[in-house]
Amino acid sequence: METKEYKVGIFKIVLPASYKTTVGDIEELQKVYQAITEEIGTRYYLEFIPSDKDIQKYSSKNRYSYTEGPYKLEIVREGSSIYIHNRGYSSKFIIEKLMFLALLEQGFSRIHGGGVQDLTSKSVMILAGSGGVGKTTTILSLLMKNPTLAFMGDDIVVVDQNGTAYPIFRKINVYTYHNQYLKNITLKDNILRDILTKTINKGINIFRNFLSVSYEIPLYSTGWIGEYDIQELFDIPKGTRGKVTTVGYLEKSDTLKVCNSESDNIITALVNETIAEETWGHVNKFYGIATNIFRINPAVRMYSILQNALEGTQMIHIRLPKIDTETRSKLVSILEEVYGNGKKGIKGSVS
């Protein structure tokens, strides 16, 4: 059987040549996890097995099987080799879940958040929080104002046990309220995204559960424009590995308030938010793979890694109302001061 090999993050992936529709997804993931590939290297072998019969020859006890109607997922692990038979599920979806759990096993944790890096000191500030809270807007605002900052990621940042952050260059989800930053997008793109937004919003309530659970199609809130590489939009440098010095956790509120926070509170929030994001719509499959293939409790493992990684790191809690120009400008000024102060933190709270 003819196969093709790809390096994606800590995975060496082998695909049958017949998996033509998967190649585009794999090539996209190669770009997303480029820094992980370069800095950490390959630690697992992943092979997609097209035949249900062929995967049965692997008799390892580390096996996970899930069948629902015409859909089937079977994963078998032997040492650092993982074999996958998939019928109906997105290969990209499977690889992403395996990547999250494999990184945890190796002492690395993904965080649902973005970040910026100082180009001189290489220090990193991570901004985390739930979807729609203002992470992207805040990160873009910091980058637009400060040419000395580099982009570390919008939706995911990886951190190791020593507190070193690795950039993850997943495309950013752009919404209509980001339009102030989108001067470089062409008229053709504007027309296309308007059509997409209207189409998605029209059927989103009816098809939300069906599309997300059955086909792993991401559904976005009202006003979604599309996905873009950050450098398709702006002339912004991309970050490299660097030490995390500041972590901010964003939550929605009626008024702007920024204050220091206990480390355990922020780490607990990071774990809860990241696990919720990873398991959304697929809780049983996620924990089935974690338990049977990696033999870990993801939340416990993630908390342990972050406790070591973020020891002594400046932790801040950001209560954020709906961002307007004035609020955004004020928050950026506060974050610039906090980030520049290193571990000095904030005296009391700032609002």
H-state helical runs in the chain: 20-32, 34-39, 52-55, 91-105, 135-145, 187-215, 230-233, 263-279, 283-289, 298-309, 325-341
User: What is the DSSP code (8-state) at residue 125?
Assistant: E
Segments of the chain with pLDDT less than 70:
21, 175-226, 323, 341-351
Res 172: pLDDT? 79
Res 19: pLDDT? 80
Question: What percent of the chain lies above the pLDDT cut of 90?
Answer: 54
Measured CA to CA, the distance from residue 164 to residue 192 in angstroms comes to 39
* Record: fold of 109-171+239-350: Phosphoenolpyruvate Carboxykinase; domain 3 (3.90.228)
Res 217: pLDDT? 44
Res 209: pLDDT? 42
Res 10: pLDDT? 97
- Cα–Cα nearest to 123, from 312, 319, 317: 312
Give this prediction's pTM.
0.85
- Cα–Cα nearest to 253, from 316, 318, 317, 320: 320
Res 183: pLDDT? 52
Query: What does the radius of gyration of the chain's CA atoms come to, in whole angstroms?
Result: 21
φ, ψ at 241 (rounded to 5°): -60, 145
Res 1: pLDDT? 74
CATH 3.90.228.20 region(s) of the chain?
109-171+239-350
Res 89: pLDDT? 87
Are the C-beta atoms of residues 114 and 27 closer than 8 Å to each other?
Answer: no
Residue 71 identity: Y
Token representation of residue 95: 């690889």
